[in-house]
Amino acid sequence: MDYSSFLEIAGVAHANVRGRKQLLKALAAAGAELANLNERELHRLLSERAKFYALGLAGGVCISHVYVQGVERVRGICLRLTEMVDFGSNASRKADTVFLLLSPFQATPDSLKALALVTRALRDPVQAASVRAADTAETLRRLLCGTMQARAA
């Protein structure tokens, strides 16, 4: 299965934040820049979504997933933080790596496939460490998609 058919890795960004509010602003800024979206609207969506849902995984990784008007296919952005931040995840763990999934407003099966792909990959401590070390969108795409293709074989 070609995972790149339903998940585009838009980029890897870095942020120096000290709390959840700054983290949401940094996510919105990275998402707006890398996916060509309205930063204010994305921040509003992330803030609303973070009140109810964020998926904290072991090893300092958190996934945030929002549905956005104007997004035509699922896009992923990895935000690497200079220090651990409590994202308010359901696992009550701090994270220094946040993976943002931007999905089309009209939910598609690709949204769930992408969320499952990223969750499975980042649940593995070795894979999470590799993602944490990725410096480019291409490296991140190869790590996520390559690992999942190997597991499917």
Q: What pTM did the predictor assign?
A: 0.80
CA distance 106 to 93: 30
Alpha helices in 7-124 (DSSP H): 20-35, 39-52, 109-123
The number of residues in the chain equals 153
Looking at residue 35, what is its pLDDT? 83
Query: Quick one: which of 100, 74, 91, 88 has its CA closest to 15?
Result: 100
Query: Quick one: which of 57, 102, 50, 52 has its CA closest to 77?
Result: 102
Give the pLDDT confidence of 77-98 residue by residue, as tens digits.
888 888 888 766 555 568 888 8
**Average confidence (pLDDT) over 117-122:** 82
CA distance 36 to 74: 13
pLDDT, mean over the chain:
80
For the cut 70, the answer to whether the pLDDT of residue 134 exceeds it is yes
**Could you tell me the pLDDT band of residue 60, with boundaries at 50, 70 and 90?**
confident
Q: Which residue has the tokens 């943002």?
A: 100
CATH class of 3-152: alpha beta
**Could you tell me the pLDDT band of residue 6, with boundaries at 50, 70 and 90?**
low
Looking at residue 1, what is its pLDDT? 45
Q: Are strands 75-86 and 94-104 parallel, antiparallel or unpaired?
A: antiparallel
Q: What is the DSSP letter of 5?
A: G
- CB burial readout 3-25, b (16+ within 10 A) else e: beebbbbbbbbebebeeeeebbb
For the cut 90, the answer to whether the pLDDT of residue 25 exceeds it is yes
- Sorted by where each begins, the domain ranges of the chain are 3-152
